[in-house]
Amino acid sequence: MNNENEKKKFRLIPQVMLLFAISVLVTGVITFFVQSSISNTAIRHQTESRASEIAEETATAIREYPAYDRLLSYWYTHANDLAIEYDAEYGAETETEAKCRTLTEHCPGVQLKYMTKQQLDAMDPEDQKLYAEVAYSWLITRLNQIKRAYHIDFLFCVAADEAYGTQFFLLSAADPGATRGTSYEEVYPLGHTVTVGADQQEAMRSAKANASHLANAGDYVDYYTFLGEAEGRPVFIGMTFNLSGLRSSSASQARRETLYAMLFQIFLSLICLILIYRFVLQPLKKVQKNIRLYKETKDSRTITESLKEIKTRNESGDLSKDVSALAAEMDDFIGRIETITAEKERVSTELSMATRIQAAMLPHVFPPFPERGEFDIYANMDPAKEVGGDFYDFFLIDDDHLGVVMADVSGKGVPAALFMMASKIILQSCAMLGGSPAEILTKTNEAICSNNQEEMFVTVWMGILEISSGRLTAANAGHEYPALQKSPDGPLELVKDKHGLVIGAMPAIKYREYELQMLPGTKLFLYTDGVPEATDDDGNMFGAERMLAALNEEPHAEPVRVLQNVRRAVDGFVKDAEQFDDLTMLCLEYKGNQTENAS
């Protein structure tokens, strides 16, 4: 067991470490994407700002020519007729310089670079063509310089169709030695037309509406600025930037920053784990150890002294104090339980003895008068608790008179049992002094009322059987109706006699008596209310009808058998329901004078 506990000693640490690892991983992923997004946004903003500056400078370079819009239209309409020198340096001995001298001769006094639209329109067609070629060479040279200065991947000027589906290249800057051609990623010459995708189409529309727009194109971004129109078509200055290097660098930077963030978080996590172990797990383990020790030793003093070593001012410290207090309370509780258990055992022993004493006070030897064949009698009492308040009694007042009593004391348990014993003794003493049942009950009531401080009472049915004749004189003090068999072959029926007031309720009460005639072979059945009021789990009562049915199940059965039949019927009715009241029954069978019966 100890080995298993040692294996589980730090099982919370791996769980916490796993949570930290998951949090580090999640934080790293979030950090990487956030950094990447921020970097991409920054690159886009920087590129857009830079492109705007370049576009402005390019537009300025084009607009330096007063006749630029006329030149754009001319280049658009005569693209296939012009002999363009793409790499001429201004002022150098080139074809363009020779063309300049020719134009100066044809147009003396005109400054070629600042030629106006009116001056251009006044020239003859050949000179217009020469000027368009010269201006194109000068302008493309300037765009080449801008491209090199800003390290742009592509710098161009295009005219779009009405649907923006194609681009007609007017100007396209190139680095020294770059190949001009019509293949993908080559520098396109004047007049080359390409079909563009939806992103570029939308970018040109946005640039026409908003003056400029930046559009994504894979690792490239295209920037467009609206310049004007040529032959009714919109003209744009365009730039293409290859951002793959910047994005790769940005991604590398994001990875580095993410790695640094994760390493920093791991460092913080380790510090947190150390603090958790020091201020949480160690105190908890100590508390757990002392709880197990208390389970084995039940020594709260040792536990309390050990837990005092926990000084943390947090929930662990509070828990150690609570465990110490709980251990002390458990000791006190166990002590009280032991005392209560000992007291309960003592009370149980005393109740068991009281049960035996009560049972001994009731007639319990059957047959009680084996020498008397004129009658047979059997009775029993089954208390709901250890002791009960019901009692029965029968005794010979003289040789020809048998006294029979059935009584039920108010309440249950020990108080009822004590009152029952006192009532039984008083009633029997009064009966032995002589008198009729009514007189005996009257004397008993006076004796009990004279000292009944608890105001308890008892119901009593008492009868005196004249053995020789079978005449039964009886009086009822608030008790259940007796059941009498009027003829040997007839059924037992309730005798609904007149009840007097219960004994102990009020002094100076006079009780009335009545007579019943018992014939040889007939029976008398007496009981307490525990029989008809026996209740099942649904709250239904056994009732008098079921009781009479059980009594008459075997009309000629002996008294002991009659009581067994009633008890079996009661048990079958209530089943597993708890017994609520005492069950007390008595059956008397009158047999008469055996000698006379025999004759």
Dig out the tokens for 71 from the structure.
Answer: 């030149």
Q: Is residue 194 within 8 Å of residue 184, measured between CB atoms?
A: no
- Give the angle 112-114-119 at the CA atoms, nearest 5°: 75
Q: Coil, helix or strand for 176?
A: coil
Q: Is residue 530 within 8 Å of residue 581, measured between CB atoms?
A: yes
> Could you tell me what percent of the chain has a pLDDT over 70?
87
Least confident of 184-193, 339-348, 550-559: 339-348
Q: Coil, helix or strand for 228?
A: strand
Q: Coil, helix or strand for 496?
A: coil
Buried b (16+ CB within 10 A) or exposed e, 571-591: eebbeeeebebbbbbbbbbbb
Contacts of 336 (CB under 8 A, 6+ apart): none
User: Does position 86 have pLDDT exceeding 70, yes or no?
Assistant: yes
Q: Is residue 591 within 8 Å of residue 375, measured between CB atoms?
A: yes
Q: In what order do the strands lie in the sheet with 166-172?
A: 193-195, 166-172, 154-160, 233-242, 220-230, 212-217
For residues 159 and 32, the model is more confident at 159
The residue count for the chain: 599
User: What amino acid is encoded at 242 in this protein?
Assistant: N
User: Does position 578 have pLDDT exceeding 60, yes or no?
Assistant: yes
As a whole number of angstroms, the distance between CA 492 and CA 486 comes to: 7
Name the architecture of domain 363-598. Answer: 4-Layer Sandwich (3.60)
* CB burial of residue 50 (10 Å; 0-12, 13-18, 19+): middle
pLDDT in tens, 462-490: 999 999 999 999 999 999 999 999 999 99
pLDDT in tens, 396-419: 999 999 999 999 988 777 778 888
Q: In what order do the strands lie in the sheet with 375-382?
A: 375-382, 583-590, 522-527, 483-485, 492-494
User: What amino acid is encoded at 577 in this protein?
Assistant: A
SS (H, E, C) 6-29: HHCCCCHHHHHHHHHHHHHHHHHH
Dig out the tokens for 589 from the structure.
Answer: 């069978």
Tokens 């049972």: give the residue: 359
pLDDT in tens, 491-509: 999 999 989 999 999 998 9
Name the architecture of domain 64-242. Answer: 2-Layer Sandwich (3.30)
As a whole number of angstroms, the distance between CA 141 and CA 84 comes to: 11
Q: Which residues pair with 403 in a beta bridge?
A: 395, 464
User: What amino acid is encoded at 418 in this protein?
Assistant: L
**Binning pLDDT at 50, 70 and 90, where does residue 90 land?**
very low
CA atoms within 13 A on the CB side of 377: 26
DSSP conformation class of 552? T
Q: What local confidence, expressed as pLDDT, does residue 531 receive? A: 95
Buried b (16+ CB within 10 A) or exposed e, 361-371: ebbeeeeebee
Taking CA atoms, 289 is separated from 93, 185, 292, in Å, by: 100, 76, 5
Q: What local confidence, expressed as pLDDT, does residue 6 receive? A: 47
- CA 403, distance to chain mean position in Å, is 71
Q: Which residues pair with 398 in a beta bridge?
A: 401
pLDDT in tens, 349-389: 666 676 666 667 788 899 999 999 999 999 998 887 766 77
**Binning pLDDT at 50, 70 and 90, where does residue 40 land?**
low
The reported pTM is: 0.50
Q: Coil, helix or strand for 362?
A: coil
- Give the angle 235-236-237 at the CA atoms, nearest 5°: 135
SS (H, E, C) 432-489: HCCCCHHHHHHHHHHHHHCCCCCCCCEEEEEEEEECCCCEEEEEEECCCCCEEECCCC
As a whole number of angstroms, the distance between CA 128 and CA 466 comes to: 165
CA atoms within 13 A on the CB side of 558: 9
Q: What local confidence, expressed as pLDDT, does residue 183 receive? A: 86
Dig out the tokens for 28 from the structure.
Answer: 């790293």
Residue 512 phi, psi (nearest 5): -105, 155
Nearest to 157 by CA among 145, 139, 130: 139
Work out whether strand 522-527 and strand 513-517 pair parallel, antiparallel, or are unpaired: unpaired
Listing DSSP states for 284-331 in one string gives HHHHHHHHHHHHHH--HHHHHHHHTT---SSHHHHHHHHHHHHHHHHH
